Amino acid sequence: VNKVDAKPVYVLPNNSNIQMAAEQAASIVDNKKTIVIPTKTIPQGMTSLFVFNPKKSVSENEKAMIAALKRIKSGQVTYAVRDTVIDGLTIHKGDWLGISEEKIMTSSDTSQMAAKELLQHLISEESELVTIIYGEDVSRAETEQLVTFIESQFPNVDVEVHAGMQPIYPYLISVE
């Protein structure tokens, strides 16, 4: 925070495990205002950044960035590192997991199927926009198959796709 050439500094943890450390760091910074926006996922962080307006006050931006978090559902697809049973869901090492807001929603044989099942949990009648950020091990063609699925199952939502090139998570998903 001290090395950032900005006043104030907004910190987006994008992970609930990092939130407390970010708040502690912000509390010991002496020479500049540091605001922690309680983002738990990368899609939440991106959504809060989209509402930031440099012409508004620190307080207005903080309120807008936090309010934006309530308008988004986020999810991610990753793989299981061990066998387990969580909330009655049997998971095997190597299974693909669909996770929403830190809760495992689905376990599947493929990342595509996990993403489809996760989307069915995330998208509701009120949903307007689905943003997909695909990872380094996913092709654009595979992602287009997912887009086709969304368009056929949920014709009233718009879909945005971005190459995130992130490791470990083939898909990061936000629904607004």
Going by C-alpha positions, the residue among 129, 120, 113, 125 that lies closest to residue 174 is 129
Please indicate, yes or no, whether the overall pTM of this predicted structure exceeds 0.85.
Answer: yes
pLDDT digit string (tens) for the chain, length 176 residues: 888 998 899 999 999 999 999 999 999 998 889 999 999 999 999 999 999 999 999 999 999 999 999 999 999 999 999 999 998 999 999 999 999 988 999 999 999 999 999 999 999 999 999 999 999 999 999 999 999 999 999 999 999 999 999 999 999 999 99
pLDDT for the residue numbered 2: 87
Distance CA 76, CA 117 (A): 11
Read out DSSP for 62-90?
A: HHHHHHHHTT-EEEEEEE-SS-EEETTEE
pLDDT for the residue numbered 30: 83
Residues making up the chain, counted from first to last? 176
Going by C-alpha positions, the residue among 99, 107, 101, 105 that lies closest to residue 83 is 107
pLDDT for the residue numbered 141: 95
Going by C-alpha positions, the residue among 130, 108, 127 that lies closest to residue 117 is 108
pLDDT for the residue numbered 31: 83
pLDDT for the residue numbered 102: 84
pLDDT for the residue numbered 51: 96
